[in-house]
Structures are given as C-alpha cells and as structure tokens.
Amino acid sequence: MADIIVSENIQGPSMDALMSDFDVHWNDSLWNDGEALTQAVSEARAIIVRNQTQINEALLTQAPNLKVIARAGAGLDNVDTQAAMSRNVTVCYAPRENSLAVAELAMGFMLNLARFITLANNDTKEGNWNRSQFVGTELSGKTLGVVGFGRIGQMVARRAKAFDMKLCAFDKYLPHDTPVVHELDVEMLPLDEVLAASDYVSCHVPLMPDTRHLFGVEQFNQMKSGAVFINTSRGEVVDEMALVDALVSEHLRAAATDVRESEPPKPGGLADLENVLVTPHIGAFSEEAQCRVVDTVCADVRAVLTGASPSSVFAG
C-alpha cells in the first residue's frame, strides 16, 4: 500500500517531487468513496486533502500508521483535529498562503457590485447598449465593515483603504490596540454597530460553534438599508434563507458569496437572484496561491516523514 494518500485534486511541481521520492497514491475522487478511502489509509503514513475529504475519528481508527494529515488550505473544518492529536498525528495546513487571493476576490466582488459589471456585461452581450441602466456608485467615501479582522480581513481593509473607504471592524479576539488597527485607522466596534454603520460588510470569520449562522435575520435587519453583504469565509456562518429574504425584500441591495451552507449547493435560492454574485468556492484558487499552498503542505509532509520539523502545524 502507498505511503502517502492524496484524496483530492492537488497538483504542482512540489507534488511531482513528492511522488518521485515516496510511494504516493493520487486519486482526486477518493474523497467521495468512503470504503476506498478507508482501505487506502489503512497502511499510509500521510494523507493530503483539501476541504472535501472528511478526516474523522472513524477514519483515523482505521489508520494506525498515520503520522501526518496535511490540509491544502487554511480551514480545518473537515479534520477532527482533536482526534488526530490524541493519536499523535501531526496536522499541517496552509494558513497564510491563500490569504491574498481571498482578499483580492473580496475586493473584486465590491467593485463588481458597485459598478454592476456582470449585469452590464451580460446585457451588452445580448445586443443592448443600456448605459443609463447601469449607473453605479464609487467605493471612495463608503464605509466597509470587516467582520473578522484577522489576516484576510486586514488585507481586505488595507486594499479598501487604497480606495479611500472608511473602515470599521468587529473581532472578538483581536485587542483594539493592535498596531494594524491604528495604522489603517480602523474603528473597532461591536458587531451590531459595525452592521449599522457599513455600506459594505465583508465576512472573514472561521467556522466555529459560535460563528455558525453568525449572520441571520437579526444581523441582516441591523444592516443599513441598501447595503451590500460579501462572504468569502465559510458558508455555514450565514443563514442563507435569511440572506435571501433580505435581498428579495430589497433591504440589502446586493450580495456576493464564494461559499455556501452546503457545497455544492442545491439549485435555486441565492443563485436565482439577479442582485447576487455566486462563485464555487474559488477564493483560494489563484495560480500563485495554489502554488504556495501545495509547496507548503508537500514540504511539511516530507518533513514529518523524514524526521524534520514541519513549518505550519495546527497547535490546537
């Protein structure tokens, strides 16, 4: 049996090098076959995954030789980290490598919705020339509320600052005297005050028990009438039906989401609304970010299997 299991589509020069030096079983659909996955990990020392492979206690029980789980991305929602650590299995991930790509996508969503770029493109390609139908707004002078002011939230704020946007943020863990808060002139506020003050709200929180459905009916009602909501974090932090209602009622002008409560989502809902941009969880999918991610996880798997120290380890 293979030494290393790769259960999703993870490619690049670093993966090629790993495959030349170790016995690697690479199958990008293995995540969707529980029986085959269980058999594959039974003698493996490492498994490399994205976000679809579910690494739970039941699977780990069948992998007595496993030394390292490497998640090619920042989130660990699909990995039972406690079960892994209780078995002395190292959990590696790539917490920094895709941050820039996600931040740029969030900015792209804002620009698109401010200027109706997608709607104008589609209408013009149908043979129309409706200039007056697509009068947009400028980002300059508008207030961006960042919910979750960690690495990605700060990158979004820095780019929004370059567009002369005013900044406020909510983060229950970040001290208000953190240097970046003063550097970017960010007003740190309670969540309800951020929502009430912002023309654009961009969500960048991890999925945790206390962030599941962080945005629901109450939070969308607290947002400004005509505001725009953007989510590039995790789909489960939003009650999608509450968001649909806020958009259909026109309390919110528009929304953009790269992530969904269930992926892939069922047809309908947000995807049926003209004032919503939906993308298939591509925030991390720039060529540069994916190269950095694959380099990091492959290097860490190699390190663990050769007795060296990995660079990006989840510490609990």
Which domains does the chain show, CATH number per domain? Answer: 4-97+287-305 (3.40.50.720), 99-278 (3.40.50.720)
Concerning whether 287 is annotated as a catalytic residue, the answer is no
Question: pLDDT tens digits, residue range 30-61?
Answer: 999 999 999 999 999 999 999 999 999 999 99
**Is 292 a known active-site residue?**
no
The mean per-residue pLDDT over the stretch 266-271 comes to 95
Catalytic residue selected from 50, 204, 234, 292: 234
Distance CA 37, CA 33 (A): 6
Predicted structure pTM score: 0.90
Q: Of residues 57, 250, 263, 288, which has the active-site annotation?
A: 263
Q: How far is CA 298 from CA 5, 16, 73, 148, 301, in A?
A: 12, 10, 12, 29, 5
Q: DSSP 3-state assignment of 70?
A: strand
Q: What are phi and psi of 101, to 5 degrees?
A: -60, -40
Looking at the chain, the number of H-run helices and the number of E-run strands are 12, 12
Q: Establish whether 131 is a catalytic residue.
A: no
Residue 1: band (very low, low, confident or very high) from pLDDT cuts 50, 70, 90:
confident
Catalytic residue among 115, 158, 213, 281: 281
pLDDT tens track for 76-90 = 989 999 999 999 999
